[in-house]
Structure 1
Amino acid sequence: MVETPEKLHRMVMEVRRGALTLAVLLALAEPHYGYSLRKKLAAKGLEIDEGTLYPLLRRLEEHGLLSSYWQQEEGRKRRFYQIDQGGEVALAAMRDEWQSLDQVIGHLAEEH
Structure 2
Amino acid sequence: MTVSPDLGLRTRLLRMEDARRQTQHQLAMIDRQITRRITAMVPLIGRRQIGYRRGKAPEPAAFLERYRSNLAAITAERQPEIDALSRKLARQDAAIAALRARLEPASPQLMRA
TM-score bracket, normalised by the shorter chain, equals: 0.3 to 0.5
Q: Larger Rg: 1 or 2?
A: 2
**Using CA pairs below 8 Å that are at least 6 residues apart, which structure has the higher relative contact order?**
2
Question: TM (normalized to structure 1)?
Answer: 0.35
Select the structure that is richer in strand.
1
Question: TM (normalized to structure 2)?
Answer: 0.34
Select the structure that is richer in helix.
2
